[in-house]
Chains A and B, each alone.
Chain A
Amino acid sequence: MDIDIANKDDFELLEEELLPPVNEVKRFIRVFFRRKIVVVGFILVIIFLFIAAFAGLISPYDPYEQDLYNVLSDPGGAHLLGTDALGRDLFSRLIYGTRTALAVGASTALVAAAIGTVIGLIAGFAEGPAQTIIMRLTDAMMAIPSLILQIIIASILKAGVPGVVFAVAISLVPGFIRLTNGQVLSLKQNDYVLAARSMGSSRIRIAIFHILPNCLSPLIVQITMMMGIAILAEASLSFLGMGILPPTAAWGSMAYDGYRYLTTQPLLSIAPGLAIMFLVFSFSMIGDGLRDALDPKLRGTTS
């Protein structure tokens, strides 16, 4: 090849063809933080993560230590938010509950995403009867109210963290299957899939290297949103006594324990309730922000 390399004019012409690079990271950060509510959500999640990480340092008392001389004490004084019916410090239990909520939320969403994505990819690639069967089963699962499904699965499994994670994850799987399947069906039509096939890539190779990476943006958004949903579901199950077993500090079971003293010590139920609300809200907001920032239509733009 001598014309393009040796000929200086050709070379310069090509140089001009290059687009000015757009810093994707900068663009992502700018779009992500454009909405104030997302910033609030983001800061809240950072705070929650911080609390969970340093729970031992922040909490003034041991969350499991009972002080039976000092039950149902009023807020203020030695115990910032008072104590529960067993004399445990509410503030410390809330702090430790953050750990439970985040751990259960994250692991549930990730387990659901892993299972749902694989099934969705298989369904999208199988086409024909296999796809129809998988997708109709998914629809059938979606038709069952998720709380009832969770209660059924949780009551079959042993109560405790793994049981809750599995029960909630199963109820979230259909959403991921649908999302991935839809993505695969639309991405399969892309020219680069045809081009990859024309280069001799096998179907499995195309699914893993070409389809899956392009599904990631909506998947990340869905995982974030589902973390909030999973935390809420865990709290519901714990409130119903089918989730995380006492004495582990979990917001749902704390709200249930406090519920009996609602008239005298409302804070025992309201405080964990507010904590659940804020955490779920902030995950939803982050999901929203991610959806804007990961929008492929905005990729490579400077707006």
Chain B
Amino acid sequence: MGRLLTVTGLSTEFRTERGVVKAVDNVSYHVDESEIIGLVGESGCGKSVSQLSIMRLIPDPPGRVVAGTAVFDGVDLLQFKRDSSEICEIRGNKMSMVFQEPMTSLNPAMTIGRQMAEVMLVHMNIDKNEARERAENMLMQVGIPDPGKRLDDYPHQLSGGMRQRVMVGMSMLCDPKMIIADEATTALDATIQAQLLELMYEMVNKYHTALIMVTHNLGIVARYAHRINVMYAGRIIESGTVKAIWANPMHPYTEGLLSCVPKLGEKLLSIKGMPPSLINRPPTCAFLSRCRYRNSGCFSEPARELTHVEGQHSTACNRRLEAAGL
């Protein structure tokens, strides 16, 4: 398996009235070909922003990618200007995205068929009839009954689950190397969510596509992902294989997330407190105020970068790194 995407030192800022928000702060990770990566964290921790950054979809102003490289398939995506023809060539073609809200991600004034055809007309050298044929075939693959008729439907005639199936199909049309699923199943109810995850899993396996699953639900990631990156306050604070993280969560935040996965009949636990403001963040660990294991050292030492511990497992927790002798 070759390296598909290498992100190094990605930092994205939003300039607001109250100051500069460092939404993503020096984030580095990589994705191999046909690998499934889970990107986990609570709301507002920079998961989506980090993904939109590499797609060059951050609204500017107020947002701006200030540092870093994202080498995808041999090309640094961050060198391109927003909406330049080079990045448009990659979007939807080599790398595509599925968004959270199926109800609003499709243009209400355009039929499903035309929207699906648009991706192919932009990237592939085919005519309308062939695009329609391919769209119909894709709708069948994503399990939409009577695909030929559905092509002429408008989005409001489909339910949320169906629309998200269309979105998944649309993202696969040009046979991309990587798909980013940005909370793609969060807005759906549990049964539909399970169906869709299963569908996405089968599709990426069938076409050997890499998948980044952005979610706040560790349960989802555990079943499908190979590796997990845990984000907190704009940084990746733990990274490792699903097995390693499940068996031995090194960062107290990851441990907290794991205890938040709902289990039937048990009281639902939560991590006390709120994530810190991303404006003027202190040099110390961002999780400090919520951490159960903090000690006096945590208050004085600056937070460590994500550091490799063992196997593929890395963490940014000062205490654990100290304990590991690093």
Contacts and interface: CB of A to CB of B under 8 A. Distances in A.
B119 A199 contact: yes
A197 B83 contact: yes
A216 B88 contact: no
B99 interface: yes
B252 interface: no
A201 B122 contact: yes
Interface string B153-180: 0001111011000010011000000000
Contact of B159 (A3, A17, A22): A17
B109 A216 contact: yes
A4 B91 contact: no
Most buried by B among A15, A195, A201: A195
A198 B145 contact: no
A192 B155 CA distance: 11
Contacts of B57: 194, 197-198
A1 B202 contact: yes
Contact of A198 (B96, B107, B159, B206): B96
Interface stretch (A113-121, A206-214, A241-249): A206-214
B99 A191 contact: yes
Nearest to A216: B109
B99 A202 contact: no
Contact of A196 (B107, B142, B157): B107
Contacts, number: 115
A296 to B, nearest CB: 7
A68 to B, nearest CB: 59
A197 B322 CA distance: 45
A213 B107 CA distance: 10
B156 A299 contact: yes
Interface of A is mostly: helix
A203 B122 CA distance: 12
A199 B104 contact: no
Contact of A214 (B108, B140, B144, B158): B108
B263 to A, nearest CB: 26
A205 interface: yes
Contact of A11 (B88, B145, B156, B170): B145
B119 A1 contact: no
A77 interface: no
Interface string B75-90: 0000000010100111
B259 interface: no
A189 to B, nearest CB: 9
Contacts of B145: 11, 14-15, 18
A263 interface: no
Contacts of A210: 107, 109-110
Most buried by B among A4, A18, A191, A200: A200
A19 B157 contact: yes
A17 B162 contact: yes
A200 B108 contact: no
B141 interface: yes
A209 B110 CA distance: 8
Interface in B127-161: 140-145, 156-159, 161
A202 B89 CA distance: 9
A238 B94 CA distance: 62
A281 B101 CA distance: 43
Contacts of B159: 17-19
Contact of A10 (B90, B96, B123, B143): B143
Nearest to B198: A3
Interface string A1-39: 101110000110111011101100000000000000000
A195 B167 contact: yes
Contact of B89 (A191, A195, A196, A200): A200
A303 interface: no
B105 interface: yes
A190 interface: yes
A227 B141 CA distance: 50
A300 interface: yes
A24 to B, nearest CB: 9
Contact of B108 (A3, A13, A17, A296): A296
Contact of A199 (B96, B109, B110, B140): B96
A214 B162 contact: no
B55 interface: yes
Given A17-B161, A213-B110, A196 B118 contact: yes
Contacts of B141: 1
B240 interface: no
11 contacts: A17-B192, A18-B159, A19-B156, A192-B106, A195-B99, A199-B91, A199-B118, A199-B170, A201-B118, A202-B85, A203-B83
